C-alpha cells in the first residue's frame, strides 16, 4: 500500500488543495497513516484533530481518523473548531503528542487542507516533503489506535481570559467593541468569549457557514472589512476585530474606521509588552513597515526581521526566546503569558488589555502611528522554475549597491526614499513585491527600482494576482 499526492498540495507551511480535484478523503487517510508512523517513530502516541466549518471538512476528518488509528496512533477528536483551539489542545494536554487541523484557512470555499503540529513544534517544509515521500513509498506502521472525544471549549475560553488578570476592570468594562467572525470556525468560540468579556460587544456572522455568504474571510483585504467598519460607525464603537476562516489571523479597524494593519497591531502589542519586558526580542516578517522596527527599538526592544511564514516565525521564536512576533498577514504570536502560537481571539483580548494598560484608546494608538505611503502587497505570476532564480539574480546585481540590502527572505532594499521588497512566494508560483516611503514621489522611485530589477531579469510586474 502507498499513496501519491498531487504535487501541488504539499506546500511549505501546510497541505492544501481543491476538493474533488487535487485533494480528497484518500489523501486525508494517507496523511493520517504517514503522520502517525512518523510520530510513533519519534516516541509519540496521541494526536488531537479538529476541523473548520467547510462543507468538505467532516469527510476529511473521518478519513484522517481512519488513517491515524490504522497507524497505531490514538486520536483525540475536538470537533469543529478554530485552528488555535487545536493548537491549545496540543499545547495544554500532557498526553497529546501532535495535532492536525483540517482547514482551508482564508481560501475559497472549494479549498481545504491540513495544518500540523509535531511534539510541540510546527510541522512544515522538509517535514511535509518527507511525509509525501514516505506515503509514496508506503513506509507505514500498522496498529489499532483508539478514539476519544474531548470537549475543550470552556477550558480554552477560560485560559484566554487569564489575559485580563491585573488589568483595570473599569477601563475594560467601558470598552465597546465590534467583532466579525466572517462565518468562519471561530464563530462559536467568539460567542462564548464575548459573553464572558467585560464591556459591550456587537457580533457579526458568528454562524459557521463554509460557503461564506457574507464576505470572504480574509481580514487582510480591506474590502472584507466593510461590514465591520459599518458596524463600528453605526454604533459608535471604540474599535472592531475581524478573523480569517480558521481564526488564527486577526484584522482590526479603529473607531474612525481606519484599518490597523498587521505591523501596526504589532507596534501596539510591542509597546505594551516592552514595559514589562525591556530588551525583549520582537520578531516581524520582511514585509513589515520600517516604522515598526523603529518603534520596537524606541520602546526598548530588540527588533528582528525574519522570513514570512507562520511556521518559520514560530520556529524563530523558540530559537531566540522571543515573547512576541507578528506578520503583515495578521498572524500574531504571544509567548509571554501564552503558548507562542497564532490565536486571533486571544490577540483581540490583548488589544483590549494593551489599550487599558497604555491608557489610550485604540483610535489614539492608531493615530500615533507614523503615516507612511506604501503599496499594497503586489503578487504577480512567475514560472515556478524562475521565481527563486530571479531573486538570486537581483541579489547578485545589488551586491555592490550603496543601499542597505537585506537578504533574509528575498531582497529588501532600504535607501533614502524608504524600502522595497521582492521575494518569491513559498506557496505559489508568484513573486511578491512591496514598497514603502514617507512621500508619494519617493514611493514612485522605489516602485521604478522594482520594475528595473524585474526587467533586467526578463520579467515584468504585470497584473497583480490574488492569494
Q: How far apart are CA 126 and CA 46, in angstroms?
A: 22
3-class DSSP state of 59: helix
Residue 349 near residue 163, CB atoms below 8 Å = yes
| Beta-carbon contacts of residue 142 (< 8 Å; ≥ 6 apart) | 70, 71, 72
Provide DSSP, 120-153. TEE--THHHHHHHHHHHHT--------EEE---H
Here the cell at position 8 is: 501541488
Burial of 455 (0-12, 13-18, 19+ CB in 10 A): exposed
Residue 324 near residue 270, CB atoms below 8 Å = yes
183-216 CB burial, b ≥16 within 10 A, e <16: bbbbbbbbebbbeebbeebbbbbbebbbebebbb
Instruction: Give 295's DSSP letter.
Output: H
| Beta-carbon contacts of residue 192 (< 8 Å; ≥ 6 apart) | 153, 154, 157
Q: Catalytic positions, please?
A: 105
Burial of 227 (0-12, 13-18, 19+ CB in 10 A): middle
CA Rg value for the chain: 22
3-class DSSP state of 406: strand
Among 402, 415, 269, smallest CA distance to 330 is for: 269
Report angle CA 303, 306, 307 to the nearest 5 degrees.
160
What count of other Cβ atoms lies within 10 Å of the Cβ of residue 372?
A: 17
CA 229 to each of CA 65, 217, 255, 298, 355: distance values in angstroms, whole numbers, following the listed order: 41, 15, 9, 31, 19
Amino acid at each position: 500500500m502507498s499513496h501519491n499526492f498531487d504535487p501541488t498540495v504539499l506546500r511549505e507551511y501546510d497541505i492544501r488543495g481543491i476538493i474533488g480535484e487535487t485533494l480528497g478523503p484518500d489523501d486525508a487517510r494517507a496523511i493520517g497513516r504517514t503522520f502517525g508512523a512518523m510520530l510513533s517513530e519519534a516516541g509519540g502516541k496521541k494526536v488531537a484533530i479538529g476541523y473548520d466549518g467547510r462543507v468538505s471538512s467532516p469527510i476529511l476528518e473521518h478519513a484522517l481518523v481512519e488513517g491515524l488509528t490504522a497507524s497505531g496512533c490514538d486520536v483525540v477528536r475536538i470537533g469543529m473548531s478554530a485552528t488555535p483551539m487545536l493548537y491549545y489542545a496540543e499545547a495544554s494536554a500532557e498526553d497529546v503528542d501532535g495535532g492536525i487541523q483540517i482547514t482551508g484557512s482564508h481560501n475559497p470555499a472549494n479549498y481545504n487542507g491540513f495544518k500540523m503540529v509535531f511534539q510541540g513544534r510546527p510541522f512544515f517544509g522538509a517535514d511535509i516533503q518527507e511525509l509525501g515521500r514516505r506515503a509514496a513509498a508506503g513506509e507505514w506502521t500498522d496498529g489499532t489506535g483508539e478514539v476519544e472525544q474531548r470537549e475543550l471549549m470552556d477550558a480554552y475560553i477560560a485560559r484566554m481570559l487569564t489575559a485580563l488578570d491585573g488589568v483595570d476592570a473599569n477601563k475594560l468594562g467601558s470598552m465597546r467593541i465590534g467583532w466579525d467572525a466572517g462565518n468562519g470556525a471561530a464563530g462559536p468560540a467568539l460567542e462564548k468569549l464575548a459573553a464572558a468579556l467585560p464591556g459591550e460587544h456587537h457580533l457579526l456572522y458568528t454562524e459557521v457557514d463554509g460557503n461564506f455568504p457574507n464576505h470572504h474571510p480574509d481580514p487582510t483585504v480591506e474590502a472584507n472589512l466593510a461590514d465591520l467598519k459599518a458596524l463600528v460607525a453605526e454604533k459608535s464603537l471604540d474599535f472592531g476585530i475581524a478573523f480569517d476562516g480558521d481564526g488564527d489571523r486577526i484584522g482590526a479597524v479603529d473607531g474612525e474606521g481606519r484599518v490597523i494593519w498587521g505591523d501596526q497591531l504589532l507596534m501596539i502589542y510591542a509597546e505594551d509588552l516592552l514595559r514589562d519586558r525591556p530588551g525583549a526580542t520582537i520578531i516581524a516578517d520582511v514585509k513589515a513597515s520600517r516604522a515598526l522596527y523603529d518603534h520596537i527599538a524606541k520602546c526598548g526592544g530588540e527588533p528582528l526581521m525574519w522570513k514570512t511564514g507562520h511556521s518559520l516565525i514560530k520556529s524563530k521564536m523558540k530559537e531566540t526566546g522571543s515573547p512576541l512576533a507578528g506578520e503583515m498577514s495578521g498572524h500574531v504570536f504571544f509567548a509571554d503569558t501564552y503558548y507562542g502560537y497564532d490565536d486571533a481571539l486571544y490577540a483581540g483580548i490583548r488589544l483590549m488589555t494593551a489599550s487599558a494598560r497604555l491608557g489610550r484608546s485604540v483610535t489614539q494608538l492608531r493615530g500615533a502611528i507614523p503615516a507612511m505611503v506604501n503599496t499594497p502587497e503586489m503578487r504577480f505570476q512567475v514560472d515556478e522554475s524562475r521565481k527563486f532564480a530571479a531573486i538570486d539574480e537581483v541579489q547578485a546585481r545589488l551586491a555592490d549597491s550603496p543601499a542597505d540590502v537585506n537578504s533574509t527572505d528575498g531582497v529588501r532594499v532600504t535607501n533614502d526614499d524608504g524600502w522595497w521588497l521582492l521575494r518569491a512566494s513559498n506557496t505559489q508560483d508568484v513573486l511578491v513585491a512591496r514598497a514603502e516611503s514617507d512621500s508619494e514621489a519617493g514611493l514612485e522611485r522605489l516602485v521604478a527600482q522594482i520594475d528595473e530589477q524585474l526587467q533586467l531579469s526578463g520579467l515584468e510586474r504585470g497584473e497583480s494576482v490574488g492569494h
